Amino acid sequence: MQRYNPQRTVTSILCCKCGVLIEPNPGNVCGECFTEELGHSGEIPAMLVLHHCRNCERYHIPPKKWVYCEPESLDLLKLCMQRIKVKDAKITDGSFIWTESHSRRLQVRVLVDRDTETATVRQEATVEYVLQNLQCKDCERLMAEKTWCAIVQIRQRAEGRRTLLYLEQLILTQNAHRGATDFKMRRNGMDFYFSDKNAANRFVAFIECTLPVKKGRTEKLVSEDTHTGERFSKASYVLDIPPISKEDLICLPKSIAHQLGTSRFLLCLRVRKNIHLVDCETPRKVEVPGLQYWKTPFVALLSKSRLCSFVVRDIEDEWEAAVTKTVYVVPEENVDSQEIATRTSIPLCVGDCVLGYSLTHLNTQNDALEEMREDRVPDVVLVKKKPLGKKQDRRLWRLKRLQNGDEAGCQDTEMFMEEIEEDKELRSSVGIVPNEEVLELWERGEEVASSIPVSELMERFSSTMNIDG
């Protein structure tokens, strides 16, 4: 008798979607229909929109955030995958598919794992991102009337503005204006525009740490959204620099001179965080802190542009122990005129040419000078020996400026460049760059006089090129 051996048969059913014979499963659908259902259920979108600002090259992260990402970078991939919202699934991997840069399309291949009742389904899909231009708020302010939200106005209200030129060099060397969106040169100062008030505050703090300034701040409401409570206002900072520059003559009020322990006439040595002064008759040097200066401000009686040349005719008290001496000088352009006596601590010899200020026929409005008796006002105040050699018309170097312009003939700029040539400490804090036209002539063998050692200039030029490179 033959033994019955039953064979197991697989029952087939029809897919409830397409009618294909399949093995029974909890969903009663075939694999293709299941994958199609997963893709069309809104879990993995086939196309998304990515907003991009073409001015600053940043991408928008709703609702208000903007970030900068390099093309096909990990940050951009992370941003794209965050835009894919899946339910009851997990994105396990993603990568870019190469596209033409001008196509304004990004394609990302993603792997999504989804747990079903019987198994885990891994699905691979391609999501295409369409880059649409959307101007960010910062660029919108720059392109519209609301181009800035903070302005810093630096002013030196004086005849000369060499202290302002020094500040400009410090701003350039320290790159303190890196947050500024615009810059404008004014007649007696500079204006810096910022789209971020925090950047403006940092810039103001830098100026306050550099020079003794008087700060004024105002804020104006431009617009207000009553529904969202958003306000847009513009802040204005006015920073006043003391109207004093190097080698300016100052006539102090009697109270300030008594407080400092000096005579009424002083010369400005330099303006830094404090104002450094020296007595015109004695070598006594004093410092005036910025806070003290703005409590009782004083101005320059005469600026450096009013210096005159004198010739030393005679010197009294020539013994070596004498610090202050009486010197008799005559104007260089009229050596046959009457000798003028003055007191100075500058070491001089008969026949020397010296620069100084003539107060004989001075016509100026200065309260400190008007309250002095005429017999206490010196006829001449000597400043320094006249530099030897003629004035340089061509230099191997030039100053780096915030705004390029034809200022070669500007008197303040020329005097400031002469101060740089005379003061090595000042040279270390300014931006010296090559003057290409004159440097090319010098390399061809043409003689070009230089008050700064050529070796020092070449070292500065090489370091500048390394930094720029």
User: pLDDT band at residue 469, thresholds of 50, 70 and 90?
Assistant: very low
Residue 94 has pLDDT above 80, yes or no: yes
Q: What angle separates helix 162-174 from helix 411-422, to the nearest 10 degrees? A: 70
In angstroms, the CA 262 to CA 256 distance is 9
Q: What's the CATH number of domain 307-363+374-386, 2.40.50, 1.10.10, 2.30.30, 3.60.21?
A: 2.40.50
Secondary structure class of 230 (helix, strand, coil)? coil
Measured CA to CA, the distance from residue 253 to residue 276 in angstroms comes to: 17
Contact predicate 155/240, CB 8 Å: yes
3-state class of 209 per DSSP? helix
Which amino acid is present at 298?
A: F
- pLDDT confidence of residue 317: 65
pLDDT of 57 strictly over 70? yes
Q: What is the dihedral of CA 367, 372, 376, 380, to 10 degrees?
A: 20
**Interatomic CA distance for residues 69 and 50, integer angstroms:** 13
Mean pLDDT of 275-302: 93
Whether 138 has a pLDDT exceeding 80, the answer reads no
Beta carbons of 312 and 350 less than 8 angstroms apart? yes
At 401, the pLDDT band (50, 70, 90 cuts) reads: confident
Higher model confidence: residue 117 or residue 255? 255
Kindly report the length of the chain.
469
The band of 405, judged by pLDDT with boundaries at 50, 70 and 90, is: low
Residue 79 · residue 131 · CB < 8 Å: no
Q: How far apart are CA 87 and CA 62, in angstroms?
A: 20
Residue that the structure tokens 């004695």 belong to? 282
Position 414, amino acid: E
- Distances in Å between the alpha carbon of 468 and those of 307, 461, 465? 39, 11, 5
Give the least confident one: 5-9, 302-306, 320-324, 406-410.
406-410
Structure-block tokens of residue 453:
């050692």
How high is the pLDDT of residue 408? 45
What DSSP line would sit under 292-351, residue for residue? HHHHS---EEE-GGG-EEEEEEEES--STT-SSEEEEEEETT-TTS--EEEEE-S---TT
Mean pLDDT over the full length of the chain: 85
pLDDT, one tens digit per residue, over 175-203 is: 999 889 888 888 889 999 998 899 999 99
132 vs 464, more confident? 132
Compute how many other C-beta atoms are within 10 angstroms of the C-beta atom of residue 252. 21
pLDDT in tens, 95-137: 999 988 888 899 999 888 777 665 677 778 889 999 999 988 7
* Cα 361 from Cα 351, distance rounded (Å): 25
**Mind spelling out the 3-state secondary structure of 346-403?**
CCCCCCCEEEEEECCCCCCCCHHHHCCCHHHCCCEEEEEECCCCCCCCCCCEEECCCC
- Say what the pLDDT of residue 200 is: 95
Tens-digit pLDDT profile for residues 311-323: 999 988 655 555 7
Could you tell me the pLDDT band of residue 458, with boundaries at 50, 70 and 90? confident
- Region 271-276: what's the mean pLDDT? 95
Token digits of residue 433: 């760059």
Which residues on adjacent β-strands are paired with residue 279? 266
Q: Give pLDDT, residue 253.
A: 92
- Which of residues 450 and 79 earns the better pLDDT score? 79
Over residues 262-269, mean pLDDT:
94
CA max distance for the chain: 158
Top-confidence range, 30-44, 416-430, 437-451? 416-430
Element (H, E) at 237: strand 231-240
- Placement of tokens 């059913």 in the chain: 13
Which of these, 440, 439, 445, lies nearest to 460 by C-alpha position?
A: 439
Question: What is the predicted pLDDT for the residue at 206?
Answer: 96
- Interval 322-371: pLDDT, tens: 578 889 999 988 888 889 999 888 888 889 999 999 998 888 888 888 88
Distance CA 313, CA 322 (A): 18
DSSP, res 444 = T
**Residue-level pLDDT at 54:** 85
Residue 223 has pLDDT above 80, yes or no: no
Per-residue pLDDT at 467 = 46
- Higher-pLDDT residue of 156, 63: 156
pLDDT digits (tens, 9 = 90+) for 235-247: 999 999 999 999 9
Residue 146 confidence (pLDDT): 56
- 8 A C-beta contact, residue 69 and residue 75: yes
Distances (CA, A) of 30 to 42, 88, 123, 265: 19, 20, 15, 102
Tens-place pLDDT, residues 73-88: 889 999 998 888 877 7
